Amino acid sequence: MSTTIKFAAASALLALTVSVAHSDGVPDNTVRIGLYYVQYHSSADDISGPYVPTGLNLKVEDVETLYVAYVRRLSVHFDLELAAGYPPLTKTDGHGPATLGSVPYNGQVISSARWFAPTLLLNYKFFDDSHAWRPYIGVGVNYANFYDRRSTAAGNAASGGPTSISLPASVGPAATVGMSYHLQGRWSLYASYSATVVKSKLTADTGGVVRTSEINFGPRALVLAAGYAF
């Protein structure tokens, strides 16, 4: 099944869920806003291609960005959450030898990209609506689309000239564990920790000389947010 079909199916599930009605007086919709603290536990195959020495690898830098989510209440215990962040500028450092010839490599920012990565989660909430504190767990699917991909001056120097970068979109499983706290009225606070599987094949083209690497980004995200129910 293609990435487009998988994401369309997830979107259709959300649309169908929005039509479900409840009669217990508890608001069905919540909008959350807060901060994503994203750590990348990245791993990658050594870069392969012409004129590439052994041990040439990559490391992805951690980022912080805005978190926004829409949550649809399905029942006392189940929610459907569609979460996304403002597409962060994610930087990739060279990892391996200190230099390539006379060109610095290890620790240099060699490329950057922005990515839009919505996640759809089905969450199970413990306890009931009378409890202020409610832990929850969730599973779902993540879609990551990479854009504004750039090789830096350091990356161009290491590659031997101006370089274009390709990173196909990724679809993978996601999981979360969190805690909500009902303040008063329609306001609540949230904290969660999520893990997703994001993999893509990096292709770098330097004047027809192509190098590749399979990257597992391994993002782990801490979210701190406030929510308003309506």
- 147-150 long-range contacts, Cβ below 8 Å, gap at least 24? 147/87, 147/113, 147/114, 147/115, 147/116, 148/89, 148/112, 148/113, 148/114, 149/111, 149/112, 149/113, 150/111, 150/112, 150/113
Query: Which pTM was predicted?
Result: 0.86
Q: What is the pLDDT of residue 13?
A: 53
* DSSP three-state, residue 92: strand
Q: What is the pLDDT of residue 24?
A: 63
Task: For each of the domains in the chain, give its residue range(s) and CATH number, in order of start.
Answer: 3-20+28-229 (2.40.160.20)
Q: Please write the tens of the pLDDT for every residue from 18-61.
A: 444 444 679 999 999 999 999 999 999 999 999 999 999 999 99
Q: What is the mean pLDDT of residues 72-81?
A: 98
Q: What is the pLDDT of residue 8?
A: 46
Q: What is the mean pLDDT of residues 146-166?
A: 97
- Measured distance CA(60)–CA(149) in Å, rounded: 14
Query: Shortest CA distance to 219 belongs to which of 83, 105, 62, 75?
Result: 62
Q: What is the mean pLDDT of residues 179-204?
A: 97
Q: What average pLDDT is seen over the chain?
A: 92
HEC string of 153-179 equals HHHHHHHCCCCEEECCCEEEEEEEEEE
pLDDT at 73 over 60: yes
Q: What is the pLDDT of residue 25?
A: 79
% of the chain residues with pLDDT over 90: 88
Q: What is the mean pLDDT of residues 157-163?
A: 97
Query: Shortest CA distance to 196 belongs to which of 6, 13, 38?
Result: 38
149 token code pair: 């991909």
CB 124 within 8 A of CB 138: yes
Q: Please write the tens of the pLDDT for every residue from 125-140.
A: 999 999 999 999 999 9
Q: What is the pLDDT of residue 18?
A: 47
Q: Please write the tens of the pLDDT for every residue from 85-127.
A: 999 999 999 999 999 999 999 999 999 999 999 999 999 999 9
